[in-house]
Amino acid sequence: MPWGVIDDEAIAAARELIGVELRRERMQWVESATKDAIKHFAWGVGDNNPLWLDEKYAKETRWGTIIAPPTFLYAIDMTTVAPKLPGVQWIYAGTGWTFYDVVRREDTFKVLARLIEVQEKTGAFAARWALQIGEILYRSQTGALVARALGKCARTPRGDQLKKEGKQKYEARGPHKYTPDEIADIERQILAEERRGSEPRYWEDVEIDAEISPVVKGPLTGTDIVAWYSATQGAQPYGGAHGDVIRYRRRHQDYHVNKETGTRDSAGRGHLEASTGVDVGMGGAYDVGPQRISWGVHMLTNWMGDDGFLHKVDVDVRRPNLVGDTTWWRGKVSGKRIVGNVHFVDLEVWASNQRNEITAPGTAVVALPSREHGPVPLPIAAE
C-alpha cells in the first residue's frame, strides 16, 4: 500500500472495513466515571461547575450525586475512527453526539465502534482527501445505551505530499499579538461567565431567538492543550510512549518523520509544535477538535442548568484554532417543540475567534423541565 498517498487503492482498502467492529484500546483513557476521572475532565476543559466537582452540592440536585459533563465520554472513547490510509494525516472534523441519559459517578462503559462511511472529497485544502465517519456506541454497566457518537475525521496529505500538490489552505501565521487592554477585556469576559446552576430553566420561559450567555476560552496556550491531553487521552491515540509506541508502529504505519532528529514521531505533536502544525497543513500549533467541542458543551450546560439535559450536539470543526487564538462560543434559540412527553429546545451554536472567523458551527437540542409537566424524563428513548 503506498505510504502517504490518497488514491483509489487506498480508499478501497479503507472501505473494506466499513461495518467491521474495531479495536479501541488506543482510543480509551478511562473505563469508568470515577470521581477523579470526572474531576480531571472538568479541569481539562476549564469547567468548574459544582455539579461535576462538589459532592455536597450535587447531592441536593435531582441526580443525588456528581454527574459528568456530557463530553466526558471522549475520555471513554476519543471517537476518532480512521483506519487504513497509512501516512495520511488525521484532522478531527467534528462529532455528532446523541445522549440518552446522564453519566453518573461510577458508571462503567463498554464501547462498540465501527466505520460507517468513507467520502471522497476535493477542495481548497487538498486536491483529493477523504472524510471517514465512525459510529461509537457507549453502553453502561447495565447494558443501557447512554450515548451514540458519529465521529468525523478528515484524512489529508501532509508534508512533502502536500507541498507536491501546491495546496496550503491555512497559511502559516505566528501567534496573535494582543494589547494589554485586549487581554484585560478577554479575562473580564471569561470571569463574567454565567451559570444557571440550581435555578431551573423552564421550557415555557424560553423565547425564540434568545441568545445564550457565551463562554470564552483563550488565548490558547500549550498548557491548555496539555490539560486536555491529561484529562482525556494522553499519548494513547498516537500509539503511547517509549517502547509502546515502537511496538505500535511496527503494527501500524502511522507516524510522521521529525526532520530535525530523523525519528519516527506522531503527527499529533503538531498540536504543540508550530513547525509540525504547518507541515500537516494547519498553519501552526493548534487545539484538539474534541477539546473545542467540549468548550461549546460547557456553554450549553451553563445555560440549561442542573435540571436540563443535553440530548444532541453536532459540531463541525471547520478551521484551526491556533495557539494564541481566543475562542468565543455563542448560541441562540432556533426552535421549541414537544415530542411525546419531552420538551425540547433547538439551538444554533458556533465558535469564532479574534479574527471574526467562525471556526466551528453546530446545532444542539436541549431537553428542559416544564412548569406544567415537571422534570425531564430520562432516559430518552433511542430513535
Which residues lie closer than 8 Å to 230 by C-beta, 6 or more apart? 40, 44
Q: What does the pLDDT read at residue 162?
A: 63
290 upstream amide cis, omega within 30 of 0: no
Max Cα separation, the chain?
A: 66
- The pLDDT confidence band at residue 280, using thresholds 50, 70 and 90, is confident
Distance CA 306, CA 48 (A): 13
Q: What pairing do the DSSP bridges indicate for beta strands 327-339 and 211-217?
A: antiparallel
pLDDT of residue 192 exceeding 60, the answer is yes
Nearest to 203 by CA among 364, 62, 372, 368: 368
Mean pLDDT score, 217-246: 89
Q: Is the dihedral of CA 161, 258, 151, 322 positive or negative?
A: negative
For cell 487581554, name the residue: 183
Contact call for residues 205 and 313 (beta carbons, < 8 A):
no
Choice among 46-60, 145-159, 332-346 with the minimum mean pLDDT: 145-159
Instruction: Report DSSP letters for 181-195, one per residue.
Output: HHHHHHHHHHHT---
Q: What residue ranges define each of the domains in the chain, with the CATH number in brackets?
A: 8-367 (3.10.129.10)
Contact call for residues 333 and 209 (beta carbons, < 8 A):
yes
Contact call for residues 160 and 324 (beta carbons, < 8 A):
no
Q: What does the pLDDT read at residue 169?
A: 63
For 282-318, the pLDDT digits (tens) are 889 999 999 999 999 999 999 999 999 999 999 999 9
For 39-87, the pLDDT digits (tens) are 999 999 999 999 999 999 999 999 999 999 999 999 999 999 999 998 8
For the chain, the straight-line distance linking the first and the last C-alpha, in angstroms and rounded, comes to: 39
379 upstream amide cis, omega within 30 of 0: yes
